[in-house]
Amino acid sequence: MPELPEVETVKNELSPHIIGRRITGVELLWEGIVKGPSPEEFCKRIVGQRIIALTRLGKYLIARLSTGNKLIIHLKMTGSLLLGKEGDGVPKFTRAVISLDDGQRIFFRDPRKFGVLKLVNDTAEIERKLGPEPFEEGFTQEVFTARLSKRKAPIKALLLDQKFLAGVGNMYADEALFTAGIDPRRTADSLSKSEIKRLYFAIQKVLKEGIEFGGASVVTYFHPDGSTGTAHQHFHVAHGQKKDCSVCGTPIERIVVRGRGTYHCPHCQK
């Protein structure tokens, strides 16, 4: 699933091409991608609106439109937003096509049909579901420590909880825990002050690196121009089954934590 670095990369690379452009048409190749309002109402309301801004909220993309409406885009597990031009062929697995006034088209490609398009008046509903952003000014080490206090859940599971911390997913949680030298099965309340400090900075480190490398193209993630990110080439443990730890040479192990496949080094993360 695209996580914070992947969604941030899409936002950064798509923005120069679409901000200020007017939506001239919407073609739904699979109406199930629209989660509100009805597909007919969605298309009717969105056509003619100008894209004023594109922002990220957790793993969501939010396009602010000229009437004040917000277009929520959630790539979910296998979604990508690809840029093309009028006359270009439609990529396989495209579920929606948004046409712009300069001849550009945005293809929402989603092989597994989990992606979402939703038109809303405000984003309060999403904001209530999300914890703090890892890079926001108010997310300090002290805030992180307080949020971990008395939490009995395994630290890996807690990092994946979007109500606890917005944007972190499976890959970067594994990488952050490896960087901090923490076993993913440890309960959150068992972490020492020094471990919490290491994890706090490790989360920011791996996310920043993920953005610098354009996200991780493990399977289905693509940049708007169709190219792939390279963050996965720098992973230490994520998706590293049958590989050896780059630090100590111990074979990477795959375990399951609260139903999620988890990669760790049993030596570096004792």
The answer to whether residue 136 is domain-embedded is no
Residue 196 has pLDDT above 90, yes or no: yes
- DSSP classification of residue 21: P
Residue 195 has pLDDT above 80, yes or no: yes
Q: Which range marks the domain in which residue 213 is found? A: 141-264
Instruction: Return the exposure string of 109-147: e unless at least 16 CB atoms fall within 10 Å of the residue's CB, then b.
Output: bbbeeebbbbbbeebeebeeebbbbbeeeebeeeebeeb
- Residue 241 has a pLDDT of 82
The set of long-range contacts for 136-144, using a CB threshold of 8 Å and a minimum separation of 24, is 141/196, 141/197, 141/200, 144/196, 144/199, 144/200
Same domain, 28 and 105: yes
Please identify which of the residues 3, 6, 8, 175 carries the catalytic annotation: 3
The pLDDT tens digits for 111-124 are 999 999 999 999 99
The answer to whether residue 134 is domain-embedded is no
Of 220 and 171, more confident: 171
Among the three residues 104, 129, 154, which one is the final residue of a domain in this structure? 129
Band (200; pLDDT cuts 50, 70, 90): very high
Please identify which of the residues 11, 59, 109, 118 carries the catalytic annotation: 59
Contact 68, 45 (CB under 8 A): no
Choose among 239, 226, 207, 233: nearest CA to 80.
226
Instruction: Find all residues with CB under 8 Å of 112, minimum gap 6, and list them.
Output: 76, 77, 78
Domain count, the chain: 2
Mean pLDDT for the stretch of residues 34-61: 97
Mean pLDDT of the chain: 96
Same domain, 96 and 150: no
Please identify which of the residues 22, 113, 186, 260 carries the catalytic annotation: 260
Of the chain, the percentage scoring pLDDT greater than 70 comes to 100
The pLDDT tens digits for 75-127 are 999 999 999 998 899 999 999 999 999 999 999 999 999 999 999 999 999 99
CATH code of residue 90: 3.20.190.10
| Cα(21)–Cα(182) distance, integer angstroms | 47
Of the chain, the percentage scoring pLDDT greater than 90 comes to 95
| Cα(193)–Cα(209) distance, integer angstroms | 24
Q: Catalytic site residue 2?
A: yes
Q: Which residue has the tokens 């298309």?
A: 43
Give burial (CB, 10 Å; 0-12/13-18/19+) of 22: middle
Please identify which of the residues 2, 132, 134, 154 carries the catalytic annotation: 2
Of 267 and 1, more confident: 267
Q: Catalytic site residue 253?
A: no
Q: Catalytic site residue 260?
A: yes
Q: Catalytic site residue 154?
A: no
The answer to whether residue 135 is domain-embedded is no
The answer to whether residue 33 is domain-embedded is yes
Residue 1 has pLDDT above 80, yes or no: no
- Residue 21 has a pLDDT of 98
Mean pLDDT for the stretch of residues 238-244: 90
Contact 232, 218 (CB under 8 A): yes
The pLDDT tens digits for 212-233 are 999 998 878 999 999 999 999 9
Same domain, 185 and 93: no
The answer to whether residue 147 is domain-embedded is yes
| Cα(205)–Cα(263) distance, integer angstroms | 18
Predicted TM-score (pTM) of the model is: 0.95
| Cα(190)–Cα(230) distance, integer angstroms | 34
Among the three residues 77, 100, 129, which one is the final residue of a domain in this structure? 129
The answer to whether residue 184 is domain-embedded is yes
| Cα(163)–Cα(3) distance, integer angstroms | 15
